[in-house]
Structure 1
Amino acid sequence: MEWKCVCPYNPKLKLKDIYIYDTTLRDGEQTPGVCFTKEQKLEIARKLDELGIKQIEAGFPIVSDREAEIVKTIANEGLNAEILGLCRALKKDIDKAIECDVDGIITFIATSPLHLKYKFNNKSLDEILEMGVRAVEYAKEHGLFVAFSAEDATRTPIEDLIKVHKAAEEAGADRVHIADTTGCATPQSMEFICSELSKNLKKAHIGVHCHNDFGFAVINSIYGLIGGAKAVSTTVNGIGERAGNASLEELIMALTVLYDVKLNLNIEVLTELSKMIEEYSGIKLPKNKPIVGEMVFYHESGIHVDAVIDNPLTYEPFLPEVIGQKRNIVLGKHSGCRAIAYKLKEMGIKVNKEELCEIVKRVKETREKGIFIDDEVFKKIVEEVVRR
């Protein structure tokens, strides 16, 4: 059996050399109330590396001595992933990152008229551009991979974005970022921005960093790739400021299953990684969270269960085992004879046809009284019926 079931109308994107740079340890940790320990950050970094993530943004070294120590420890862990540190477009930030032995940096500065006016007290775009160029040049002089990020890029006029990013590329930037800082981009606008940049850049990759304020972070990221981006920023479980960032697991599985993109990742660790972040961040996942939610491969409806028993792909877009998830047949008011028989077989219990019908009836009645049918409740129902 194939492990995924794809809609024939979904496009097969001819996307090559696509890669993910994960920012769970930096932007994810900027979720209000989240503060990972050194040991937790190391474990997360190792698990991201096991997944096969190309680049891990380990932190913001200038924030504190403790943060710098953690970034340095991760950078010297011997992981396959390149380790990046976040820096403002300031020499002191870059120097601190260099002390941490990182492979590269993401340096950022805001470019939108709103930020120029209120964040930088009416600085001109040319002044900001000069700061960004100096930062890129300084980092490249020290042999670092350099990504230049235009903060609030999606509210920056396209001609200004092109001007700033061309200057960053000429200064040596390996990648330039479209940061949808307030999550206000649409898929169409993200595709347009990346497409226009692609026409004007010669060597630098384009990366997209999307926030989820309107629930568009994953689809905006995909449309950025369609427009010519090569790299996508993610966080595990989509954690991050406000409504969070593009969800790592949702992006990976959407690209893999729906768009048939080859990412060459070890996806069987996705659920384990998700649970790790849920525990360490203290942010509980909705049970119906796409891909990794506890109940997204649970089935109760009799019609669904009958088909899933024969072939799970009738009601699942891909098999849960490939990402470390599991399927569960849940008993309730919608259960039919086949679901009950399946559960009885799982538990090694044999009944006749009359007893089976009575068990089905009692399961429905019990659930409609507001009682959840777990294994203990089900066993009790079976015992009552069989003892009659």
Structure 2
Amino acid sequence: MSIEIMDTTLRDGEQTSGVSFAAQEKLSIARLLLEELKVDRIEIASARVSEGEFEAVKRVCEWAERRNHSNKIEILGFIDEGISIRWIKQAGGKVVNLLCKGSKKHCEQQLRKTPQEHISDIKSTIEKARKNDIDINIYLEDWSNGMIQSPDYVFHLINSLKDEPIKRFMLPDTLGILNPYQTFEFCNNICQQYPDIHFDFHAHNDYDLAVANVLSAVKAGIKGIHCTINGLGERAGNAPLSSVLAVLHDQLKQQTHIDETKVNQVSRVVESYSGIRIPSNKPVIGEYVFTQCAGVHADGDSKNNLYFNDLLPERFGRTREYALGKTSGKANIRKNLEALGIELDDESMRKVTERIIALGDKKELVTQDDLPYIISDVLKHNDKDQPIRILNYSLALAQGLRPVAVIKMEIHGIQYEETSIGDGQFDAFVKALRKIYKIQLKRPFPMLTNYMVDIPPGGRTDALVQTVITWNHNGHTFKTRGLDADQTEAAIQATIKMLNQIESM
């Protein structure tokens, strides 16, 4: 028997601050959830919210009718003398998730009714739903506080309703107050007392325990779990579907109908529609969670996958990556080269490794897209034993003042120093160089004829920059390249390579 998954991204998830899905977005997400991910049920809205919500619900219900998904579309309704039921009926809904009070405090203080009065109202609403051919599930709102403060009320409520035509009793930790021990105890007590009733568990993440509580609920016998994509939801959010799946499948060895390979795709779509970014370290779907940074881990992966666990990225439509930075070793670089189809000899590998480590000291991460640029730069230019070197430079940029460059360089073992202003920092640097060549060395300085900046794919602000400069010297035209996270530094590297190149002409 598989665990039933109900996704409430389009209802509870939309209660995330600042999140509101347009009608077409709701329809798109509904399709992805039901037909790509294969979620068992989805909760798409609350009744009576707005006219716009009514139209969105109607569109989703019309689509679901055409695709034979009507019984999988659920709408939150209220004990309101049948107003919600009529709203749902007019929108084309076939299932109501009826919001009832799962704690005595909510019943008496919010509704200002006795438990028996509330039960009578619930039964009246159920009868109205039946007459409109609408199936009924019920939420026991604030159930977790009910079990802590008034368990007799909770059991009295269930006893009074267990013979009604209710498909599922849904147990929400509305305020996210439970821990895994309480969740197991409360769910086990209820499942043991009512073995023939289908219970769902609805977790909130206020103490960052939503997924752990899901694990305990399922161990206790709960048959259905409520989730949202990316953990969207009010306050700290709901249990994220991606993590719940991993725990159910791996830790509890339970089956679901979910297609894991679609998890990442759907998560990215919801991220785009919601505007809520997925944290880079969020399990399963975060940008970096399948990225090995340490070289020893990449080496272990090459030796019988020593650093793998059951969360293989391919399960979730992703691939394992090996970061390139100052903690990288040859193993990380080889993994990336294999992906690009590039082979290097040991000496070239050593040079590339040294360059990546040096670049890693300047920026957090070097990407696989950067790698061909680095290889080209390292293999075409050997900085060792070059007759011309920059020993030091300072570039100053201040509002209202022209940029200033101060450079100190060594030419054939002799040091030179010069200062100049320019129209930009690199222009000031080149003018200082030109002073050294024309005034101190009495030598011509090459003419810059073209300046091109190339950034590897991705468009990140910290991406490596390749600067390609075309020079003309004594009628000879040639190009040099520089590579760095800083555009000016890349241009300076290209310039020094140019000066060393003309020494051998």
Seen in structure 2, the aligned counterparts of structure 1 residues 136 and 219 have a Cα distance that, compared at 3 Å, is farther
Describe the superposition over 1:200-221 as per-residue Cα deviations: whole angstroms up to 9, x where unpaired: 3364311111111011112212
Describe the superposition over 1:60-95 as per-residue Cα deviations: whole angstroms up to 9, x where unpaired: 131122212221221221345411111012210111
Seen in structure 2, the aligned counterparts of structure 1 residues 155 and 119 have a Cα distance that, compared at 3 Å, is same
- The answer to whether the 8 Å contact 1:304/1:315 transfers is no
Match of 1:124 among 114, 119, 123: 114
Q: Give the secondary structure class of the aligned counterpart of 1:373.
A: coil
Q: Give the fraction of aligned pairs with identical amino acids, expressed as a percent.
A: 29
Seen in structure 2, the aligned counterparts of structure 1 residues 163 and 220 have a Cα distance that, compared at 3 Å, is same
- The answer to whether the 8 Å contact 1:195/1:228 transfers is yes
Describe the superposition over 1:180-219 as per-residue Cα deviations: whole angstroms up to 9, x where unpaired: 1100011222222222222333643111111110111122
Larger Rg: 2
Instruction: Give, in angstroms, the shift of residue 361 of structure 1.
Output: 2.0
Structure 1 match to 2:53 = 67
- The answer to whether the 8 Å contact 2:74/2:94 transfers is yes
Seen in structure 2, the aligned counterparts of structure 1 residues 28 and 84 have a Cα distance that, compared at 3 Å, is same
Structure 2 match to 1:178 = 171
Equivalent AA in structure 2 for residue 85 of structure 1: I
Equivalent AA in structure 2 for residue 31 of structure 1: T
- The answer to whether the 8 Å contact 2:2/2:254 transfers is no
Structure 1 match to 2:328 = 335
Residue 197 (structure 1) aligned with residue 187 (structure 2): no
Instruction: Give, in angstroms, the shift of residue 303 of structure 1.
Output: 1.1
Structure 1 match to 2:481 = none
Q: Which runs of 5+ in 1 are unaligned?
A: 1-15
Distance in 2 of aligned mates of 1:376 and 1:21: 39
Describe the superposition over 1:284-328 as per-residue Cα deviations: whole angstroms up to 9, x where unpaired: 010111111111111121111112234457324332122111221
Equivalent AA in structure 1 for residue 135 of structure 2: F
Instruction: Give, in angstroms, the shift of residue 270 of structure 1.
Output: 0.7
Structure 1 match to 2:84 = 93
Residue 222 (structure 1) aligned with residue 208 (structure 2): no
Residue 137 (structure 1) aligned with residue 127 (structure 2): yes
Structure 2 match to 1:347 = 340
Instruction: Give, in angstroms, the shift of residue 118 of structure 1.
Output: 4.0
Describe the superposition over 1:209-267 as per-residue Cα deviations: whole angstroms up to 9, x where unpaired: 11110111122122222222111111111101000111111111211122211213222
Seen in structure 2, the aligned counterparts of structure 1 residues 17 and 359 have a Cα distance that, compared at 3 Å, is closer
Residue 33 (structure 1) aligned with residue 18 (structure 2): yes
Match of 2:4 among 3, 19, 36: 19
- The answer to whether the 8 Å contact 1:329/1:339 transfers is yes
Q: Give the secondary structure class of the aligned counterpart of 1:170.
A: coil
Residue 262 (structure 1) aligned with residue 255 (structure 2): yes
Q: Give the secondary structure class of the aligned counterpart of 1:148.
A: strand
Q: Which moved more, 1:106-115 or 1:251-260?
A: 106-115
TM-score (norm 2): 0.70
Q: Which moved more, 1:274-283 or 1:187-196?
A: 187-196
- The answer to whether the 8 Å contact 1:176/1:204 transfers is yes
Seen in structure 2, the aligned counterparts of structure 1 residues 28 and 371 have a Cα distance that, compared at 3 Å, is closer
Match of 2:358 among 365, 373, 379: 365
Structure 2 match to 1:149 = 139
Structure 2 match to 1:12 = none
Describe the superposition over 1:37-56 as per-residue Cα deviations: whole angstroms up to 9, x where unpaired: 11100110001112111111
Distance in 1 of aligned mates of 2:193 and 2:364: 62
Structure 2 match to 1:44 = 29
- The answer to whether the 8 Å contact 1:169/1:203 transfers is no
Structure 1 match to 2:101 = 110
Structure 1 match to 2:39 = 53
Structure 2 match to 1:272 = 265
Q: Which runs of 5+ in 2 are unaligned?
A: 383-505
Seen in structure 2, the aligned counterparts of structure 1 residues 251 and 263 have a Cα distance that, compared at 3 Å, is same
Equivalent AA in structure 2 for residue 29 of structure 1: E
Greater per-residue helix proportion: 1
Q: Which moved more, 1:104-113 or 1:87-96?
A: 104-113
Structure 2 match to 1:3 = none
Q: Give the secondary structure class of the aligned counterpart of 1:326.
A: coil
Distance in 2 of aligned mates of 1:312 and 1:276: 31
Structure 2 match to 1:304 = 297
Taking only aligned residues, the RMSD between alpha carbons, in angstroms, comes to 2.0
Q: How many residues align?
A: 372
Structure 2 match to 1:166 = 159
Q: Give the secondary structure class of the aligned counterpart of 1:232.
A: strand
- The answer to whether the 8 Å contact 1:23/1:233 transfers is yes
Equivalent AA in structure 2 for residue 61 of structure 1: A
Q: Which moved more, 1:94-103 or 1:312-321?
A: 312-321
Describe the superposition over 1:121-163 as per-residue Cα deviations: whole angstroms up to 9, x where unpaired: x432222222222222322333322111111000012221111
Equivalent AA in structure 2 for residue 230 of structure 1: K
Seen in structure 2, the aligned counterparts of structure 1 residues 274 and 80 have a Cα distance that, compared at 3 Å, is farther
Equivalent AA in structure 2 for residue 234 of structure 1: C
- The answer to whether the 8 Å contact 2:40/2:257 transfers is no
Seen in structure 2, the aligned counterparts of structure 1 residues 76 and 234 have a Cα distance that, compared at 3 Å, is same
Q: Give the secondary structure class of the aligned counterpart of 1:147.
A: strand
Instruction: Give, in angstroms, the shift of residue 378 of structure 1.
Output: 3.6
- The answer to whether the 8 Å contact 1:190/1:220 transfers is yes
